[in-house]
């Protein structure tokens, strides 16, 4: 089941610009994760933000989490052509994830194109 | 070693064939997953193994049969598939044990059913 909705669905920017994509979700969560997927390949984990955190940085990535609005944003600064990919948020949600039966609930993804 | 290795990378099979997808990780992860992904869609969870036991089956048709021979290996046996089963099949692993951690994905098997 999918609970995340991401916007925009597609984003096209020039190299050097910043890219912001948003994710909304419906239920309470343990954490929210962002993944990148290059065309037709596996997903790569980018960053995990816990429900008690509001902001997290990793290199050119900045993630925010607003649990009151049930939303998160991913900012990629100074984008590069190599950032062209699909970006997915995934929530590690309550109450589905009890004990060992953890699973991620995926958003629909944002397709980012960074033009040289 | 932070890799999840999937074989084969590509597979074309007829609707009467039997084939298997394989997945291997050596990170000591105790949770392993099979996902199916259609083009431009998010991954759809199929199965979760936790400590080598099947813990989640997302109502997947029986023509897909998972197997976890040991803590490092995960197989997906395919039989009598339909053309609509053509997709990218992704294997993933995570620490498991109820810990909220990231998932590591393989590069996937691109399956075409003819």
Nearest alpha-carbon partner for A25 in A44, A1, A46: A1
| Per-residue pLDDT at A75 | 98
Per-residue 3-state assignment (H helix, E strand, C coil) for chain B: CCCEEEECCEEEECCCCEEEEEEEECCCCCEEEEEEECCCCCCEEEEEEECCEEEEECCCCCCEEEEEEECCEEEEEEECCCHHHCEEEEEEEECCCCCCCCCEECCCEEEEEC
- Is A100 touching B (CB cutoff 8 A)? yes
| Per-residue pLDDT at A104 | 86
What six digits make up the tokens of A84? 């062209």
Nearest CA in chain B to A6: B42
Question: Which positions in chain B have a beta carbon within 8 angstroms of at least one beta carbon in chain A?
Answer: 4, 6, 31, 33, 40-43, 45, 48, 50-51, 55-56, 88, 90, 92, 94, 96-98, 100-108, 110
Q: Which residues neighbour A68 within 8 Å (Cβ) at sequence distance 6 or greater?
A: none
| Per-residue pLDDT at A67 | 95
| Per-residue pLDDT at B82 | 96
Q: Which residues of B fall within a CB distance of 8 Å from A109? A: 40-42
pLDDT tens per residue, range A14-35: 999 999 999 999 888 889 999 9
Per-residue pLDDT of chain A (116 residues; tens, 9 = 90+): 345 677 889 999 999 999 999 999 988 888 999 999 998 889 999 999 999 999 999 999 999 999 999 999 999 999 999 999 999 999 987 655 555 566 788 999 999 999 99
What are the two backbone dihedrals, phi and then psi, of residue A70, each rounded to the nearest 5 degrees?
50, 55
pLDDT tens per residue, range B9-50: 999 999 999 999 999 999 999 999 999 999 989 999 999 999
């Amino acid at each position: 089941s999918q609970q995340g909705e991401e916007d925009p669905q597609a984003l096209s920017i020039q190299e050097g610009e910043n890219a912001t994509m948003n994710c909304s979700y419906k239920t309470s969560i343990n954490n929210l994760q962002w993944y990148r997927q290059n065309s037709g390949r596996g997903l790569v984990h980018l960053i995990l933000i816990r429900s008690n955190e509001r902001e997290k940085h990793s290199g050119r990535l900045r993630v925010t989490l607003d649990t009151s609005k049930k939303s998160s944003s991913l900012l990629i600064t100074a984008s590069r052509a190599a950032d062209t990919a699909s970006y997915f948020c995934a929530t590690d949600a309550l109450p589905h994830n009890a004990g060992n039966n953890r699973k991620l609930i995926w958003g629909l993804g944002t397709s980012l194109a960074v033009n040289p | 070693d932070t890799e999840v290795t999937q074989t084969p990378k590509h597979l074309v099979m007829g609707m009467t064939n039997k084939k298997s997808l394989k997945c291997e990780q050596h990170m000591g992860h105790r949770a392993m997953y099979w996902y199916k992904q259609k083009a431009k869609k998010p991954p759809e969870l199929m199965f979760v193994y936790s400590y080598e036991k099947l813990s989640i089956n997302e109502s997947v048709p029986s023509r897909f049969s998972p197997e976890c021979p040991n803590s490092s290996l995960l197989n997906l046996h395919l039989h009598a598939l339909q053309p609509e089963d053509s997709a990218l099949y992704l294997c993933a692993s995570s620490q498991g044990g109820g810990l909220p951690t990231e998932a590591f994905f393989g590069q996937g098997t691109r399956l075409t059913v003819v």
